[in-house]
Amino acid sequence: MAALDLFGRRWTLRIIWELGNEPLGFRLLQRRCDGMSSSVLQQRLTELQEARLAEVLSDGNYTLTPLGHDARESLGPVIEWSRRWAAELADAPPAAAEGADDGRHNRS
Amino acid sequence: MAALDLFGRRWTLRIIWELGNEPLGFRLLQRRCDGMSSSVLQQRLTELQEARLAEVLSDGNYTLTPLGHDARESLGPVIEWSRRWAAELADAPPAAAEGADDGRHNRS
DNA sequence: GATGAGTGCTTCGGATTTCGAAGCACTGCC
DNA sequence: GGCAGTGCTTCGAAATCCGAAGCACTCATC
């Protein structure tokens, strides 16, 4: 359950996903995550390192540890599912309100 | 990416997981989720319904839609990974700070 | 039919988290 | 030196989360 808690924090899943593609520097990673807040990114990066999912390379970039890559791979089915989900929602568009990306968040 | 955003909200993953086991009423579901706040539970339940992942049964209980069960199954590998992760952390306990469940949250 | 218990759900003040603009120290480059 | 880019920190404002309290309703039990 602790894992569901860790992943259930804003941006955590996204960061793991982005870092899984390739090592990234702080600012570039931030841009990949829709320009998320630097303070939160720093916080998440620290949490991820404490959880031994991420680490800093000798060149200063951030990467996933082997354990982190494992985690990211376990996310594969979720990504696959999300495609089906998107297709499903496209077929049956409700009145309004999408659930995800419904503008409830504030990215000013 | 919208899926990672939807799942990256506190309690969402947990709720999907709990509902996947069996249909549950509001208050019981709340208890299963470590007694999470009822206001947030209501919010999540609404989001999940809008996203067509959850629905209300004729008897008033909440369940996962077929699409929702699909999502929950896609979470399987994540759960498996979390076991390996827990084992790994148990082997190499750092100085302090666990990353997950590090007391940063407030459950008064 | 009153009482009590259980339900789904809402309200609301306060604690916590997230945001984002600004800035600091440092490195490389012209 | 001046300029740009980096990782990272600070801080006030906004959004989110919390949890106790309560409402309307159902269903037994008295």
Give pLDDT tens digits for A61-100: 999 999 999 999 999 999 999 999 999 888 876 544 333 3
Q: Does the CA dihedral B96-B98-B103-B104 come out positive or negative?
A: positive
pLDDT score of B92 more than 50: yes
pLDDT at B94: 55
What torsion do the CA atoms of B85, B86, B90, B95 make, to the nearest 10 degrees?
A: 80
Cβ separation of A73 and B77 shorter than 8 Å?
Answer: yes
Determine the Cα–Cα distance for residues B25 and A9; give it in Å rounded to an integer.
25
Q: What is the pTM of this model?
A: 0.85
Interface of A with B in 37-96 (CB under 8 A): 47-53, 67, 70-71, 73-82, 84-86, 88-89, 92, 94
Higher pLDDT residue, B93 or A86? Answer: A86
Query: CA B100, A41, A18 angle in degrees (round to 5)?
Result: 90
Cβ separation of A13 and B10 shorter than 8 Å?
Answer: no
Q: Which of A10-19, A88-97, B19-28, B44-53 has the lowest average pLDDT?
A: A88-97
Average pLDDT value over all residues in chain A: 86
Write the pLDDT tens digit of every residue in B32-84: 999 999 999 999 999 999 999 999 999 999 999 999 999 999 999 999 999 99
